[in-house]
Amino acid sequence: MQDTQSPDWRDDVIQDFARSELFERTFQEGMELVEETAAYLDGEGRQESKLLSRNAALAYAAESMRLTTRLMQVASWLLVQRAVREGDMAPAAACEDRYRLNADVAAREDDAAARDELPRGLTALTDRAERLYERVRHLDRRMYLESAGGEPSNPVLSHLDRLKSAFGG
């Protein structure tokens, strides 16, 4: 577990992101994708899966499980950021390992034949979720992991931090 006593600059970076338009757009996109995916898997996707061959049905089950796992991780991360924005969670608490994205999410198996048989609705949702997950993972690394060594990853923040220290700000 990482130290929850993060430097002030780190708290500022986390709070600034949580209040940003980028966060707002990412949050909206993530929650809409969760809802869209749930509706698809409960409705049209369920019907389409019944028409698949045995191998494609297995690929469908694996892909839908992977998709929902990724989306739940993204939604959880976004909800933590919203809790920071709303003052329900301290930025330092958001730095804990339990709130980081899990890098060990199962990778997509490249069975091209089975993937070609999957319904377009599922593959489109999977592709969108993959792109969103990678963007959020990038944000997570930048905000929490790359700067965990005590130096901000942004050189401007590093210089500002040194100036504040030098002048007692």
Please compute the mean of the pLDDT values over residues 13-30 and round it to a whole number.
Answer: 91
The pair of structure tokens assigned to 84 is: 């920071």
Residue 48 CB burial class (10 angstroms; 0-12, 13-18, ≥19): middle
Report domain extents, the chain: 8-167
pLDDT at position 2: 44
Q: Are 147 and 153 in contact (CB under 8 A)?
A: yes
pLDDT at position 153: 47
Please compute the mean of the pLDDT values over residues 108-132 and round it to a whole number.
Answer: 85
pLDDT at position 109: 57
Contacts of 27-30 spanning 24+ positions with Cβ under 8 A: 27/78, 27/81, 27/82, 29/132, 30/71, 30/74, 30/75, 30/78, 30/132, 30/136
- Per the model's pLDDT, the better-predicted residue between 19 and 153 turns out to be 19
Q: Phi and psi of 3, rounded to 5°?
A: -65, 130
- pLDDT-based confidence at 160, cuts 50/70/90? low
pLDDT at position 86: 94
> In the chain, pLDDT over 90 holds for what percent of residues?
54
pLDDT tens for 68-88 read 999 999 999 999 999 999 999
pLDDT tens for 2-21 read 444 445 667 778 888 888 99
Write the CB contacts of 87 (distance below 8 Å, at least 6 apart in sequence): none
Name the fold adopted by 8-167. Helicase, Ruva Protein; domain 3 (1.10.8)
pLDDT at position 72: 96
Q: Is the pTM of this model over 0.85?
A: no
Q: Are 13 and 40 in contact (CB under 8 A)?
A: no
Across the chain, mean pLDDT equals: 82
